[in-house]
């Protein structure tokens, strides 16, 4: 049976995005060209323009895929869910070129044409929501403002990630993200929550494996 047209289109779109991610990650937004992306994707110009009308749209497509990283399995402890998002993102930056390209674009001041605010706002909204749930369950210290804490955590994670990229090509990232969480969470959650958390450097890999083994839970 021939592959349905729609499935093929979805596959082609994905192939193009993977190729675009590779080019954006290597060359940055300004230097990247559509013809490099065409070569990397090995598709026709017509196929590319059917899905994306411009370099901007390609970059937005890569950035949008970043948001996948925000889905993790639901946990009874919302603080652990937050830790899982951060540690999974660290693991994916090490292993997934698409996530690396998104991180590069979000911090690329040369990418004026694309919406770099969106990813920060999206992450901040997700973390604020999780902290709100944690607050309702009594996990947070009484003074915590979920919106402010989310802003601090998202900004700090972006920077720890950028420093790890610049200094070790992401090699030390799980360790530095875990260190960041150990430095911030004691100001946010009750000590009884702290003692129950898995903050080990393997956490990102563990969550990734869990999601591959049970994709329906994500």
Binding site for a second copy (CB under 8 A): 27-28, 30-31, 104, 106-110, 116-117, 120-121, 148-149, 151-167, 176, 179-180, 182-184, 186-188
Q: Which is nearer to a second copy, 43 or 170 (CB)?
A: 170
Alpha helices in 78-169 (DSSP H): 78-95, 97-106, 117-136, 146-168
The distance of closest approach from Cβ of residue 6 to a second copy in the complex, given in angstroms and rounded to an integer, is 36
The distance of closest approach from Cβ of residue 47 to a second copy in the complex, given in angstroms and rounded to an integer, is 28
The distance of closest approach from Cβ of residue 94 to a second copy in the complex, given in angstroms and rounded to an integer, is 16
Q: Which is nearer to a second copy, 10 or 31 (CB)?
A: 31
The distance of closest approach from Cβ of residue 178 to a second copy in the complex, given in angstroms and rounded to an integer, is 10
Q: Which is nearer to a second copy, 42 or 167 (CB)?
A: 167
- By three-state DSSP, how is residue 35 classified? helix
Q: Which is nearer to a second copy, 27 or 75 (CB)?
A: 27
- Which contacts (CB < 8 Å, 24+ apart) does range 154-159 have? 154/120, 154/123, 154/124, 154/127, 155/120, 156/180, 156/184, 157/86, 157/89, 158/103, 158/106, 158/107, 158/120
CA distance 55 to 129: 32
């Amino acid at each position: 049976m021939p592959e349905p047209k729609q499935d093929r289109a979805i596959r082609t779109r994905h192939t193009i995005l993977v190729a675009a991610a590779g080019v954006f990650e290597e060359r940055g937004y300004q230097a990247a060209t559509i013809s490099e992306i065409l070569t990397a994707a090995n598709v026709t110009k017509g196929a590319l323009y059917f899905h994306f009308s411009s370099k901007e749209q390609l970059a937005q497509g890569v950035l949008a895929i970043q948001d996948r990283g925000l889905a993790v399995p639901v946990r009874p402890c919302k603080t652990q869910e937050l830790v899982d998002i951060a540690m999974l993102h660290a693991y994916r930056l090490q292993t997934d070129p698409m996530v690396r390209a998104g991180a590069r674009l979000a911090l690329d001041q040369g990418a004026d044409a694309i919406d770099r605010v969106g990813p920060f706002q999206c992450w901040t909204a997700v973390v604020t929501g999780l902290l709100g749930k944690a607050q309702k369950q009594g996990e947070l210290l009484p003074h915590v403002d979920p919106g402010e804490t989310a802003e601090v955590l998202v900004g700090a994670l972006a920077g720890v990630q950028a420093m790890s990229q610049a200094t070790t090509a992401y090699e030390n990232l799980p360790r530095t993200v875990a260190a960041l969480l150990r430095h911030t969470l004691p100001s946010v959650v009750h000590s009884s929550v702290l003692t129950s958390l898995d903050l080990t450097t393997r956490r990102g890999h563990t969550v990734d494996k869990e999601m591959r083994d049970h994709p329906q839970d994500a």
